[in-house]
Structure 1
């Protein structure tokens, strides 16, 4: 595990991943509020903002759109994912190999989801082992989407559950571990402590007000988090660049929420 500031994934040791794997994971429902966001071209343009350190997409979107933005966008290839039409225990199919992501997509980093607590956890962890070890061969940082979910999980945002999710990132060898926000700075501090040298970022979640979202990001940074991986809270907005300006102030410059909103 090497420091993320030695990789293309970070800026000044901080991370702001713009997540755009929702077309597969959530389907058209995520694009109804702002139909323009269904066009990957629109989101790739948004990802050229200085605050964004990487754009996370699935293989097909990367193939079709990244060649036009390879000089402006750091590409994170999300190599697994499952549609919202799936109704079984949480699982995630592997849709792209690390080799293909590195050599054909020319991606800079790899993303992978594991659902701790699912009946399919063992299989997903074994798949992650192969992904993580192959990524090391290509000198690519790995981001783990660590989302406790399934029959073994009663409350997926409880402090100790989120801390466990963060710990799994360290134990399994992730450079960055993406977890849900536990709802408080104290909860995030526990997650950061458990993650050790695996940096912790917050999942953006469903769209909320600018102020509420920035308050949670401020709490994550104050707790020692490295940043966030956000999708809908940016590209569902009519003026996503305005929120990215505010996020840049909070994440990289340490601004207060009030100052960032001015």
Structure 2
């Protein structure tokens, strides 16, 4: 019989809460209001998303607490960085901080942490140092970390090419992240180069609202066909008129018909 350390066992169990037996996952990102002050509608839309049973939700502290019951069957990926908003002038550089400790995340029931990394940005050392320190701390308690890797930052100091996205994903993994969330740099088939370059699972973010939900589902299918571990879609889900049905469609696209 082989034994796993308590820390290793904890991380394994938490990862299995957010990834299926096929190693894939459908995440719904509902953490936008922490910096936008608007976005994911509260109340019934949250309940509808939870009823669709996404594998995981990327949530703020408030949503993790206020909708604990609605999302109890989904893994909780807690957003732990931030500290600035889009209400005033958009900051030119990295002004984020770590908002919650690993211990606090465990108290609210987090299965994973998520924070940003900006390799290639003029002040890249700020986000990359934060990422490394959070990964090191989370490792001691068996808590996985998802790194949202944006090459050049939101200001696109470097172009979002396949090469740069792939390099950013690899950097996130090398600093200790267990999961990478990043953009698809072109058609879904181009995500193959990103997935191949990274030693940990990579999921694609959704970005701006797409023209149709059929297009969104097709992108999700294309991402996993290219070797991606799934998707982390936000406004394309919470902006839907029928979020529950859309989550169910995404689950089928990522996991196959048996997940419907």
Q: What TM-score do you get using the length of structure 1 for normalisation?
A: 0.83
| Offset, 1:205 | 1.1
Checking the alignment, whether the CA contact within 8 Å between 2:18 and 2:74 is kept in structure 1 is no
Change (3 A) 1:206 1:40: farther
- Counterpart of 1:235 in structure 2 is 238
Which 5+ residue runs of structure 1 have no aligned equivalent? Answer: 31-36
What is the total number of aligned residue pairs between the two structures? 244
Change (3 A) 1:133 1:239: same
Checking the alignment, whether the CA contact within 8 Å between 1:4 and 1:175 is kept in structure 2 is no
| Offset, 1:118 | 2.1
| Alignment map for 1:38-77 (pairs within 5 Å) | 38-39=41-42, 42-50=45-53, 52-66=54-68, 68-69=69-70, 71-77=72-78
Aligned CA-pair RMSD: 2.5
Q: What TM-score do you get using the length of structure 2 for normalisation?
A: 0.84
Which 5+ residue runs of structure 2 have no aligned equivalent? Answer: 1-7
1:23 to 29, 33, 36: 33
1:78-100 Cα shifts (integer Å, max 9, x gaps)? 10124224322244221111111
Structure with greater contact order relative to length (CA < 8 Å, sep ≥ 6): 2
Checking the alignment, whether the CA contact within 8 Å between 1:40 and 1:61 is kept in structure 2 is no
Q: Output the CA distance in 2 between the equivalents of 1:40 and 1:115.
A: 33
| Offset, 1:45 | 4.3
- Counterpart of 1:108 in structure 2 is 111
- Counterpart of 2:4 in structure 1 is none
Change (3 A) 1:217 1:152: closer
1:10 to 15, 19, 43: 19
| Alignment map for 1:163-242 (pairs within 5 Å) | 163-196=166-199, 198-208=200-210, 209-242=212-245
Change (3 A) 1:170 1:25: same
1:49-96 Cα shifts (integer Å, max 9, x gaps)? 23x111111223323332x34643321111012422432224422111
Change (3 A) 1:187 1:71: closer
Instruction: Give the SS at the match of 2:18.
Output: coil
- Counterpart of 1:33 in structure 2 is none
Q: Output the CA distance in 2 between the equivalents of 1:181 and 1:100.
A: 32
1:150-203 Cα shifts (integer Å, max 9, x gaps)? 4772322x111111121112211211100111112442111011102x101000
Change (3 A) 1:48 1:21: same
1:96 aligns with 2:105: no
Q: Decide which moves more: 232-241 or 209-218.
A: 209-218
Change (3 A) 1:5 1:106: closer
Change (3 A) 1:145 1:213: same
1:194-250 Cα shifts (integer Å, max 9, x gaps)? 102x10100011111112212221221111000011111111011112211221221
